[in-house]
Amino acid sequence: MNADGVFSLPNADFSTKVPMEHLDYDFIAKCKDVKYLEKILRILRSGEEGIYPHLIKFCESHLEKLSPKSRALRQGVPVATEASFSKDEWNQIIDDLRTWEEETKNAETLLKQESVFDDLDRAKIPPVRSSRCFAPVKEKSFPKQRTNPPKRFLPRDYQEWDKFNVEEECNKIDGDMQKNDPPAILNTGHPNIQREVDSSCLSQQEKLLLANREKDKGNEAFRAKDYEEAVAYYSRSLSIIPTLSAYNNRAQAEIYLEHWNDAMRDCQQVLELEPGNKKALLRRATVYNNIGNFEMASKDLRKVLQEEPNNAAATQLLSKIEQKMSDCQPSQRSKGKKILIEEVEEDLSFAEKEQKEQKACPVQPSQPVGGEESSAAPAERGDMGNAQKKPHSRGDGGPHSESSNSHHGHWKGKGATSDKYKVPEESKEKVANGSSKRGSTASAQGDKKSSSSKAATGGKKAEETVNLDAPCGALPPHLSRLKNEGNLLFKNGQFADALEKYSQAIQGYADSGIDSPQDLCILYSNRAACYLKDGNSQDCIQDCTRALELQPFSLKPLLRRAMAYESLERYRKAYVDYKTVLQIDISVQAAHDSVNRITRVLIEQDGSEWREKLPDIPLVPLSAQQHRREEPPSEEVLQARAQKASEDAERRAEIRFSALKQEGNEFVKKGQYQEALGKYTECLKLKPKECAIYTNRALCYLKLERFTEAKQDCDAALGLERDNKKAFYRRALANKGLKDYLACSSDLQEVLRLDPNVQEAEKELEEVTVLLRQSLANSVNDKPRKAVPITEVDGDEETPDVPNRRDDLSINLTPGSSYEFGQSLNAARCSGNTAACAELLASIEPELLPRYLSNQLDGHTIGFIMKALDSHLLGKNPNLVYRHLERLHTADRFQVVFMQLEDHERRSVTQLFERLSAVESSEFTQGDVHNLANKYV
pLDDT value at residue 904: 79
% residues pLDDT > 90 (the chain): 20
Indicate the range of 560-564, 570-574, 844-848 predicted with least confidence: 844-848
812: CB partners within 8 A, 6+ apart: 820, 823, 824
Is residue 860 over pLDDT 60? Answer: yes
The rounded distance, in Å, linking the Cα atoms of 721 and 693 is 12
pLDDT value at residue 877: 86
- Selected residue with higher pLDDT from 267 and 743: 267
Its pTM stands at 0.27
Is residue 41 over pLDDT 50? Answer: yes
pLDDT value at residue 743: 84
The rounded distance, in Å, linking the Cα atoms of 635 and 599 is 35
Is residue 358 over pLDDT 50? Answer: no
Cβ–Cβ < 8 Å for 607, 565: no
751-763 mean pLDDT: 87
Indicate the range of 397-401, 482-486, 619-623 predicted with least confidence: 397-401
Which of 20, 22, 17 has the alpha carbon at shortest distance from 5?
22
Indicate the range of 441-445, 874-878, 922-926 predicted with least confidence: 441-445
Segment 374-427, tens digit of pLDDT? 333 333 333 333 333 334 433 344 333 333 333 333 333 333 333 333 333 443
Cβ–Cβ < 8 Å for 406, 399: no
pLDDT value at residue 920: 83
Residue 400 three-state SS:
strand
Residue 275 three-state SS:
coil
Element (H, E) at 493: none
pLDDT value at residue 781: 57
576: CB partners within 8 A, 6+ apart: 614, 615, 616, 617, 618
Cβ–Cβ < 8 Å for 23, 49: yes
Segment 104-130, tens digit of pLDDT? 999 998 888 865 555 545 545 555 554
Cβ–Cβ < 8 Å for 367, 534: no
Q: How deeply is 625 buried, as exposed, middle or buried, from its count of CB atoms within 10 A (0-12, 13-18, 19+)?
A: middle
Residue 310: Cβ within 10 Å count: 14
- Selected residue with higher pLDDT from 475 and 733: 733
Please, which pLDDT band fits residue 733 given cuts at 50, 70 and 90?
very high
Share the mean pLDDT of the chain.
75
167: CB partners within 8 A, 6+ apart: none
pLDDT value at residue 374: 35
pLDDT value at residue 36: 92
Is residue 264 over pLDDT 60? Answer: yes
Within 607-687, residue ranges assigned H as helices are: 626-630, 635-670, 673-686
Segment 521-536, tens digit of pLDDT? 999 999 999 999 988 9
Question: CA of 933: how far to CAs of 146, 590, 845, 909, 912, in Å?
Answer: 114, 93, 21, 9, 10
- Selected residue with higher pLDDT from 688 and 186: 688
Within 421-516, residue ranges assigned H as helices are: 426-432, 444-457, 459-465, 477-491, 495-512
Segment 867-889, tens digit of pLDDT? 888 888 888 888 888 888 888 88
Amino acid at 45: R
Is residue 253 over pLDDT 90? Answer: yes
Segment 319-348, tens digit of pLDDT? 888 888 887 765 444 444 444 444 433 333
Which of 188, 214, 366, 377 has the alpha carbon at shortest distance from 286?
377
Residue 105: Cβ within 10 Å count: 10
Within 224-311, residue ranges assigned H as helices are: 227-240, 244-256, 260-273, 278-291, 294-307
780-786 mean pLDDT: 51
DSSP 422: -
The HSE-up count of residue 335 (CA atoms within 13 Å, CB side) is: 0
143: CB partners within 8 A, 6+ apart: none
Cβ–Cβ < 8 Å for 202, 162: no
- Selected residue with higher pLDDT from 190 and 713: 713
Is residue 758 over pLDDT 90? Answer: no
pLDDT value at residue 152: 57
pLDDT value at residue 899: 76
pLDDT value at residue 351: 36
The rounded distance, in Å, linking the Cα atoms of 520 and 547 is 7
Cβ–Cβ < 8 Å for 237, 211: yes
Residue 393 three-state SS:
strand
Cβ–Cβ < 8 Å for 573, 565: yes
The rounded distance, in Å, linking the Cα atoms of 576 and 599 is 11
Cβ–Cβ < 8 Å for 197, 210: yes
Give bridge partners of residue 393 from the DSSP assignment.
400
570-576 mean pLDDT: 91
- Which of 591-598's residues contact partners 24+ apart within 8 Å by CB, and which partners? 591/559, 591/562, 593/388, 593/389, 593/391, 594/391, 594/392, 594/399, 594/562, 594/563, 594/566, 597/391, 598/566, 598/571, 598/574
Amino acid at 242: P
The rounded distance, in Å, linking the Cα atoms of 835 and 824 is 12
Within 738-758, residue ranges assigned H as helices are: 741-754
DSSP 368: -
Amino acid at 324: K
The rounded distance, in Å, linking the Cα atoms of 295 and 383 is 27
Which of 766, 763, 697 has the alpha carbon at shortest distance from 734?
697
Question: CA of 52: how far to CAs of 16, 46, 55, 78, 305, in Å?
Answer: 22, 11, 5, 20, 91
The rounded distance, in Å, linking the Cα atoms of 553 and 576 is 12
pLDDT value at residue 246: 92
- Selected residue with higher pLDDT from 858 and 386: 858
Please, which pLDDT band fits residue 194 given cuts at 50, 70 and 90?
confident
% residues pLDDT > 70 (the chain): 72
